[in-house]
A and B are shown apart, each in its own frame.
Chain A
């Protein structure tokens, strides 16, 4: 139900963006066609670790249509490296390798030609001599002193190791009746958008501007690209009116962009690089977290969890961007939705000879949620307690907000037990139990899965100073400029591209709400980086909160200005006026009014009718800092994200014991993200997040062999869920408004994904429990389930033999 206090917010509205998508008029990076454009193909390393002995490009350069062959030697001499998000200045990263390669698939040479086909032909003519050197692919082996060093100058393969102790962990553990330790693995998967990364750059000798069109979703992208290319920021213009064909965190092709930008400037011609699928999967540097969690929970006989010790070892691959910070963000919800009063958390990021890790939906939260939820289920099983009852005993109560967790974040608001209850009722839970038992009676394995998880939202970067004291960043703003032109039409400018979040719909709905103008009449433009105000891009489920807040702020300034002009012309105090659909009336005498059109005309044409000293025209900007943000950590504690959405998953699965294949029979997600500005958009993200979580839980893995070769570089072996695997999902909404935001909204861009894998793992382990089997690693593929069943079977036979 739409909230009656809103005119447009919360109501069904067709997304503005869809009009162009359904007629084939989206404008993606690959659609940018410039005259005389040149194309890039990449020669990649076949070795996980090797010295480059020689590179011979003569034959390739002799091929008609080939313009240039770029090596790492030239590139590294002429640009600055991209440095990690943590304090490790010796772990430098360049688009092309020079001297050594550190993973199979690393880019070594770029060939530029008149067509991609010719560039690929030429790339096969490049002769590179390598000498293989020792490599390491296992992160725990990589932590050993004797392990081959990925970056010898750094001195260790560990790029981040930091232990936090929040609260009386020692005492809570000493006093606890029970302790339970476990290890779970989150496998290396990623969001794998259907569009690969693409970038086109064009350099103009006269203006000295490098124009960039890229499928990008990344904070500070123009700044970092300009810095690496040694250009002042105003010599680089990133065009944000490029539709991004999916990202969910990973579309951060900084190395691609720096490479193409360098080539465009060097050659004085437009240049583009579009990854093919293998380049994307192997050398695109967009694989996700790859974690081993060692957890111990301390709890009493009633199932009250008092304390937690967690160590997370994350394998970030051969180079570091912001990936180690993905261990930092979950600190803002390290106790999940539970009243766990103390926590010890050790974050360890390890480099190996694998493809580098990139930000993935949730920025590390989904793996951590999976680790916590696995433990909650294990405690229930250990105590013989119902999993729902155990959760209800530990969930933070709705009257306890704002709730301060041990690591320094206040949760803003919520009603977790009610949302869980709604999901259980919708299932309905009793029926799930009956269906599970009926499936078991048919000889199938069947189980019910539960998860209750937080979705921190309103993306901030508080984890940067927390994990890297040299980084004192506390600003993480977003902004919007709104103008009303002489015709009375409203236009809003935003400084980021969209990758499916419907920002044009969001901003026009919000501006329409504030100005009381029809949202479909409001145009929203993705400005370029030289024309736009600062944005930190749609990371951390932030745009409903931050872009929505910025747009509302700018619109409110305009509304205030219109009221002042009306008061001046109606000769009445503002307090006695009412604003209605853009017109302003004297509340007590409605015949005294001034219309929107008249106010607009006064603003643009009649300076003599403006209040003294007022700027003419109607154009306002608003730059908003993250609410609750702006502070540095104190005693290793900091407010991470401002808002906290909540999700409860309740599902029923069955497993064919002959094949190990899992089928999902019922999927319910209770969801509370506060006030929904665009309900269809929010639901869509939740459905999509669940599908994405299903992939991570059951199907998707970037598998490497012992030689460090990627085994799943195509969609034939890296399996994405289709409409046959993803079940019909029931979403049950609940609304606890956030007290921190303009309309009570919270973020939802990561919903579904943050609790889905935990729920599916929970269901599978419930299904396997009667066989005394269990799995503590994702993805739970048919092979993995089958192996777990065989293992349990042989264990039981062993027990019989020795009985």
Chain B
């Protein structure tokens, strides 16, 4: 309640955001309601579907299953912060568009977070590694196939470019 607010400072997509929040405010509600970053979605609120995934200090987490106060002093990246600059797309985002890796788009932000987290650590994953990495993110539209294809596309293309530059 309003007589019990806590000060937090969370760096979100590169900007330090000081806010007063109720202790029970979840991180996803903080992002959506306090910062109007509505790209992060809520699907199950019990940590299964992965729609609310964000990067917390670089690791993918469920923002529905932690409180904003727990992220105090930490760095959060949401789907709005994945592109290198406004008007452009990350390789993964671009590949998702190219390979039709979404339909309704609702799981897409969480799925993109999972794929970014994967590629950050493993730039050239094979299909099994891709499927493992996105297995905590549920999608009801795509059957995952075009998502897997997109991640392959984004990471294989890099190999070709590297090969070309060495050639």
Partners in one complex: yes
Residue of B nearest to A281 (CB): B44
Determine if A658 is an interface residue (Cβ-Cβ < 8 Å): no
A19 and B127 within 8 A (CB): no
Whether the Cβ atoms of A684 and B141 lie closer than 8 Å is yes
- Of B106, B143, B144, which is in contact with the most chain A CB atoms at under 10 Å from its CB? B143
CB <8 Å contact, A15 and B38: no
Q: What are 8 A-B interface contacts by the 8 Å CB criterion?
A: A21-B108, A23-B39, A23-B89, A191-B140, A193-B104, A194-B139, A194-B140, A243-B106
In the complex, what's the smallest C-beta–C-beta distance from B145 to chain A, in angstroms?
4
Q: In the assembled complex, how far is the CB of residue B148 from the closest CB belonging to chain A, in whole angstroms? A: 7
Is B97 a contact of A500 with CB atoms below 8 Å? no
Q: How far in angstroms is the closest Cβ of chain B from A214?
A: 15
Check B38–A30 contact: CB distance below 8 A: yes
Please tell me if the beta carbons of A24 and B79 are within 8 angstroms of each other in the complex: yes
Q: Report if A685-B103 is in contact (Cβ < 8 Å); known contacts: A22-B97, A691-B144.
A: yes
Give the chain A neighbours of B41 by CB distance below 8 A.
28, 30, 194-195, 245
| Contact A276 B45, beta carbon cutoff 8 Å | yes
Indicate whether B109 reaches chain A with its CB closer than 8 angstroms.
yes
Q: Which of B95-116 contact A (CB under 8 A)?
A: 96-100, 102-109, 112
Q: Which of B4-12, B67-75, B130-138, B154-162 contacts A (4 or more CB under 8 A)?
A: B130-138
Assembled-state Cα–Cα distance A247/B32 (Å): 23
CB-CB under 8 A from B103, the residues of chain A are 246, 500-502, 681, 684-685, 688
Q: How far is the CB of B67 from chain A (nearest CB, A)?
A: 13
Cβ of A559 within 8 Å of any chain B Cβ, yes or no, is no
Residues facing B in A155-211 (CB within 8 A) are: 191-196
User: 5 closest A-B pairs (Cβ-Cβ)?
Assistant: A24-B39, A245-B106, A21-B105, A500-B103, A500-B104
Asked if B132 contacts A720 (CB within 8 A), the reply is no
Whether a CB of chain A sits under 8 angstroms from the CB of B56 is no
Smallest CB separation, B135 vs chain A (Å): 5
- Judge if B37 is at the interface, Cβ distance under 8 Å: yes
Contact of A434 with B by CB under 8 A: no
Complex Cα spacing A285 to B143, Å = 25
Complex Cα distance, B37 from A281, in Å, reads: 27
- A499 CB within 8 Å of chain B: yes
Q: Give the residues in chain A near B93, CB-CB below 8 Å.
A: 22-23
Instruction: Verify if A256 is at the interface (C-beta below 8 Å from B).
Output: no
- Let me know if A244 is at the binding interface, CB within 8 A: yes
Interface string of B29-62 (1 = CB under 8 A from A): 0001000111111111110110100000000000
Q: Give Cα A613 to B139, complex, Å.
A: 55
Q: Is A716 an interface residue (CB 8 A)?
A: yes
Stretch at the interface among A408-416, A586-594, A723-731, A777-785: A723-731
Taking the complex as formed, is A466 at the interface, i.e. its CB lies under 8 A from any CB of chain B? no
The answer to whether the Cβ of B120 comes within 8 Å of any Cβ in the partner chain is no
Q: Smallest Cβ distance from A729 to chain B, in angstroms?
A: 6
A154 at the interface (CB under 8 A from B): no
A271 to B10, CA, bound (A): 30
Cβ of B17 < 8 Å from any Cβ of A?
A: no
Size category of the binding interface on chain B: 35 or more
Hey, which bits of chain B sit against chain A, CB under 8 A? 1, 22, 24, 32, 36-46, 48-49, 51, 78-80, 82-83, 89, 93, 96-100, 102-109, 112, 127, 130-132, 134-148
**Judging by beta carbons under 8 Å apart, are A722 and B143 in contact?**
no
In addition to A23-B83, A500-B103, A502-B103, 15 A-B residue pairs with Cβ atoms within 8 Å of each other are: A26-B108, A194-B51, A243-B104, A245-B41, A277-B44, A498-B104, A680-B99, A687-B144, A687-B145, A691-B143, A715-B138, A722-B134, A722-B144, A723-B148, A728-B127
Please judge, given known A-B contacts A687-B142, A722-B138, A728-B127, whether A24 and B78 are in contact too, CB under 8 Å: yes
CA distance A117 to B24 in the complex (A): 9
Interface presence of A707 (CB below 8 A): no
Number of interface residues of A (CB under 8 A): 60
The smallest beta-carbon distance between B141 and chain A, in angstroms, is 5
Q: Which residues of A contact B (CB under 8 A)?
A: 14-15, 17-28, 30-31, 33, 64, 117, 191-196, 243-248, 276-277, 498-502, 680-681, 683-685, 687-692, 714-716, 720, 722-724, 726, 728-729, 752
Of the candidates A193, A502, A728, which one forms a contact with B140 in the assembled complex, judged by CB atoms under 8 Å apart? A193
- Known contacts A23-B39, A244-B104, A246-B106; is A194 also within 8 Å of B138 by CB? yes
A602 CB to closest chain B CB, in angstroms?
Answer: 37
A residues near B98, Cβ cutoff 8 Å? 14
Please name all residues of chain A whose beta carbon is closer than 8 Å to the beta carbon of B99 when the two chains form the complex: 680
Are B105 and A500 within 8 A (Cβ)?
yes
Which of A23, A64, A690, A715 lies in contact with B79, CB distance below 8 A?
A: A23
- Residues of the B chain whose Cβ atoms lie less than 8 Å from the Cβ of A21: 102, 105, 108
* A residues less than 8 Å from B45 (CB atoms): 276-277
Q: How far is the CA of A248 from the CA of B103 in the complex (A)?
A: 11
The answer to whether residues A715 and B141 also contact, given A24-B79, A501-B103 and a CB cut-off of 8 A, is no
CB distance from A573 to the nearest CB of B (A): 45
> Across the interface, do B104 and A22 meet the contact criterion of CB distance under 8 Å?
no
Q: Give chain A residues whose Cβ lies under 8 Å from the Cβ of B51.
A: 194-195
Q: B32: which A residues are within 8 A, CB to CB?
A: 30-31
Q: Which of B100, B112, B135 interacts with A724 by CB under 8 Å?
A: B135
Q: Are A245 and B44 in contact (CB under 8 A)?
A: no
Residues of A within 8 A of B89 (CB): 22-23
**Contact assessment for A243 and B105 in the assembled complex, using a CB-CB cutoff below 8 Å:** yes
**How distant is the Cα of A501 from the Cα of B142 in the complex, in angstroms?**
11
Contact residues in A for B142 (Cβ distance below 8 Å): 684, 687-688, 691
A723 close to B144 (CB less than 8 A): yes
A769 to B107, CA, bound (A): 39
Pick from B37, B46, B97, B145: contact of A24, CB below 8 A.
B37
Contact at A245–B109, with CB atoms within 8 Å?
no
Q: How far is the CA of A720 from the CA of B143 in the complex (A)?
A: 11
| Separation of A22 and B104 alpha carbons in the complex (Å) | 11
Tell me whether A18 and B102 are in contact (CB under 8 A): yes
Q: Are B141 and A688 in contact (CB under 8 A)?
A: yes
Cα(A29)–Cα(B129), bound, Å: 34
Chain B residue with the shortest CB-CB distance to A729:
B145
The answer to whether B96 and A22 have CB atoms under 8 Å apart is yes
Which of A194, A692, A716: most chain B CB closer than 10 A? A194
The reply to whether A192 and B140 form a contact with Cβ atoms under 8 Å apart is: yes
Q: A19 to B97, Cβ gap below 8 A?
A: yes
Determine the distance from Cα of A17 to Cα of B106 in the docked complex, in whole angstroms: 12
Q: Tell me, rounded to whole Å, the shortest Cβ–Cβ distance linking B133 to chain A.
A: 9
Instruction: Name the residue of chain B whose CB is nearest to the CB of A694.
Output: B143
Q: How far is the CA of A154 from the CA of B43 in the complex (A)?
A: 38
Q: Find chain A residues with CB under 8 A from B139 CB.
A: 194, 688
Q: Is the beta-carbon distance between B97 and A28 smaller than 8 angstroms?
A: no
Q: A20 to B96, alpha carbons, bound, how many Å?
A: 12
Closest to B114 in A: A723
User: Within the assembled complex, what's the spacing in Å between the Cα atoms of A469 and B37?
Assistant: 51
A377 to B49, CA, bound (A): 36
Bound together, the chains give a CA A24 to CA B82 distance in angstroms of 10
A715 and B49: CB pair below 8 A? yes
Which B residues touch A248, using CB under 8 A? Answer: 140
Known contacts A193-B140, A194-B107; decide if A723 and B39 are in contact (CB<8 Å): no
Most buried by B among A117, A688, A714: A688
